[in-house]
Amino acid sequence: MKTALIVLCFAATVWAAEPDDTSSPDPNESNPKSSNTQSERDDQPRDDQPERGWGMGSISLATRQVARLGDWEDQVPNIEKSIDRLWEENEWNDEADQFALQAVRGVAEIPPWQITRRVDFLTNEFGARYDMNDAQIKDLQAKSYQIIGAVAVRHGGTMFKHVTEMVESVKSGEPMTPEDISRWMDEGEEMIEFAHEQVETISDQIARELSAEQREVFDRDRASYRKRMERFEDMRERWKAGGWHPREWGLEDVPEYKRMMERRVRDGRYDEDKWRRFDELQKAYRVYEAKSQETPYNESAWELYVRQYIHQYGFDEAQAETAWSILREQRQLAGDVRRSAQRRMQRERVLMGRMGAMAMPLPESALEDIRDLFDGLCQRLDRIPTTSQKLAVERVLVPPLQALPASAKATGDRVTDDR
């Protein structure tokens, strides 16, 4: 059996589990094809790439650990099969997704210790897609090495440690456990977040240098990348909580992994329904998090709305007190909705595991009840202003009538065109 690796790609590509469940030859018996000559050539300095320091050396050491597992060409078919399944299961089917898929598959065909070839392949793919000139492609290559180098310098030790543990797991025949993956997600959290920040920062720089036509395609690819990153973040949260399953890295049919998971299910240490529900709650949390920033769903923003309303209409003290009283009543009712929903969802906190400390995602029905209460707040406020206050505001908000004939000013009738 060979291993599972995570391939971090630039911009439109994101990551892909790279598993292989066949038997791997011992490196002492079979030298990895194309690993010696090409990797030595790969390590030679080139005039067209930035100087690489010890940070890049840590990546080189990590990828050479992978080379211990045997011929890369033998792994590619199973890697591509797993990548295809990942895209299919997540229904990443639009044009930008398909471009990313082909880019990931192309990178996967190149041994990971041949870093220069991988970067050259990706920058050429993006260069052709965005119709870049030679200067833009060269700049893209430099920025790609900038991302890789920054991650390697800051987190090369973590990367090397995890890859080495993966390789040792394969060599020993001992399967990686959900606890191992949980630990790796913990230890690698800063590395993953830093890498994502680097991609976003460099993407901003690249976007500013593109033409309008190039930018249109680039923006589609970037949105596609962010969508996949959101999915990865959901999976990472579940893995951190102990919900990793070997099938996610294409290892479900490997005998030792199959036996491990059968024992865990039998012993009650793995509940498929529980982790499926975890994923559903993750999706619900994303919806809740987005909506909770909007005023109608966010009671804490209602106060600002009322304050602006009072100022806009020039309320006197009595009117202002009425408005604040309405706000208190509506917020109290909204609080009752939240508390009722949270009591019903208390059992979900167990499933959320390590997300339990975060705000729980309210169900859609509760969010809509809160929005209805905000609508009620608005309607009740609208009954407070006097006619003169409303007219004063309308004079400010409605375009001036000076251009209309006197008859139209007096009657408010629409002016007809007699031409």
Which tens digit of pLDDT belongs to each residue from 360-403?
Answer: 678 888 899 999 999 999 999 999 999 999 888 877 654 443 43
Distances (CA, A) of 138 to 11, 13, 47, 375: 16, 19, 12, 55
* Residue with more model confidence, 273 or 352: 273
Question: Does residue 247 belong to any structural domain of this protein?
Answer: yes
Q: d(Cα 208, Cα 200) in Å, to the nearest integer? A: 13
Is residue 146 a contact partner of residue 227, using CB atoms and an 8 Å limit?
A: no
Residue 266: give the domain boundaries. Answer: 5-270
The rounded distance, in Å, linking the Cα atoms of 166 and 21 is 14
Per-residue pLDDT at 17: 29
Q: Comparing 105-109, 120-124, 127-131, 339-343, which segment has the lowest mean pLDDT?
A: 339-343
Mean per-residue pLDDT of the chain = 78
pLDDT tens column, 23-56: 333 333 333 333 344 444 444 433 333 333 446 6
Residue with tokens 């010696």: 36
Specify which of 4-18, 21-35, 260-274 reaches the highest per-range mean pLDDT. 260-274
The reply to whether the predicted model has a pTM over 0.85 is: no
DSSP letter at 354 equals: G
pLDDT of residue 307: 93
Residue 46 and residue 187 share a domain: yes
* Domains of the chain: total: 2
Of residues 377, 28, 335, 12, the one with CA closest to residue 202: 12
> In sequence order, what are the residues at sequence separation of 6 or more whose Cβ sits closer than 8 angstroms to the Cβ of residue 119?
49, 141, 144, 145, 148
Q: Which of 270, 294, 309 is the last residue of a domain?
A: 270
For residues 52 and 177, membership in a common domain is answered with yes
Q: Exposed, middle or buried, 400 (CB in 10 Å: 0-12/13-18/19+)?
A: exposed
Residue (of 226, 366, 225, 348) closest to 280 by Cα position: 348
Does 120 share its domain with 158?
yes
Residue 317: pLDDT band by 50, 70, 90 thresholds? very high
206 plus 354 within the same structural domain = no
Domain membership of residue 417 (yes or no) is: no
Q: Does one domain contain both 291 and 381?
A: yes
Residue, of 243 and 82, whose pLDDT is higher: 243
Among 32-36, 55-59, 194-198, 326-330, top mean pLDDT goes to 326-330
Q: Which amino acid is at 342?
A: Q
Within 10 angstroms of residue 36's Cβ, the number of other Cβ atoms is: 11
Residue 413 counted as domain residue: no
Q: Does 278 reside within a domain?
A: no
Query: Rounded to the nearest 5°, which phi and psi values hold at 303?
Result: -60, -45
In a domain, residue 348? The reply is yes
